[in-house]
Amino acid sequence: MLTRDFLQQADCKTAFGAIEETLLLTPEQRAASLASTLAQRPDSGPVWVFGYGSLMWNPIFEAEEVLPATLQGWHRAFCLRLTAGRGTQHRPGRMLALKAGGQTRGLAFRLPQAQLEDELALLWKREMVTGCYLPTWCELTLDGGQRITALVFVMDAQHPLFEEDTCHQVVTPLIASASGPLGSNAQYLFALDRELKNHGMHDDAIGELASSVRQWLQQHAPLAG
């Protein structure tokens, strides 16, 4: 599992596997992206981050409060071609992102103001290695009805790694077959499915995809003997 120490010390050029040089953001580009995002901060209140994938079970950054929340206008989709981390260039998988339409249930993390920039810099090193996401300020609704503004990483549909076709027939064998330095692509999907169920959050598309990948793995398991 990705750890805070690993991420702090990681060289993005090599730590996650072989990433095409032209896709990598430099540390200076990541810092500029973070500064630009903070400059667009809509208010001076607490900074919240919306977790809808691995941030839910392994956020790494420090948070003072974690609450269930709903994001309108976006839905989970494995629409990001995965060539590092849990996939390779020769056997790419698919990573999770948010595409326009629908809604997403997840967790809202309130970051400590005193360590805000350090925690966000770590988050940028994790999520913005290739700049495939658009850090966006969005409105979330907490379970009690309160509305907050949070930082959400949505898919950049103009990015070279964006994949439009996310039907299960296409995605299932990719996720089932891919693995890399951080583990297998299927492990990520199963962890997501489990975490959503642990929180009582229903995402039919994720549950169906997890079942499809499990079935594929059973059908393609090597014969004993």
Give the model's pLDDT for residue 225.
Answer: 44
- Catalytic pick among 119, 127, 163, 195: 127
In the DSSP assignment, the letter for residue 154 is E
The secondary structure element, H or E, covering residue 168 is: helix 168-177
The strand pairing partners of 184, in sequence order, are 179
The reply to whether 20 belongs to the active site is: no
Give the model's pLDDT for residue 195.
Answer: 97
Give the pLDDT band (50/70/90) at residue 21: confident
Q: Is the pLDDT of residue 52 over 50?
A: yes
Q: What is the largest CA-CA distance in the chain?
A: 64
The single residue listed with the structure tokens 């993005």 is 12
Give the model's pLDDT for residue 223.
Answer: 57
Q: Is the pLDDT of residue 34 over 60?
A: yes
Q: 5: helix, coil or strand?
A: helix
Residue pair 141/147 in contact by the 8 Å Cβ criterion = yes
**CATH number for region 4-220:** 3.10.490.10
Q: Is the pLDDT of residue 192 over 70?
A: yes
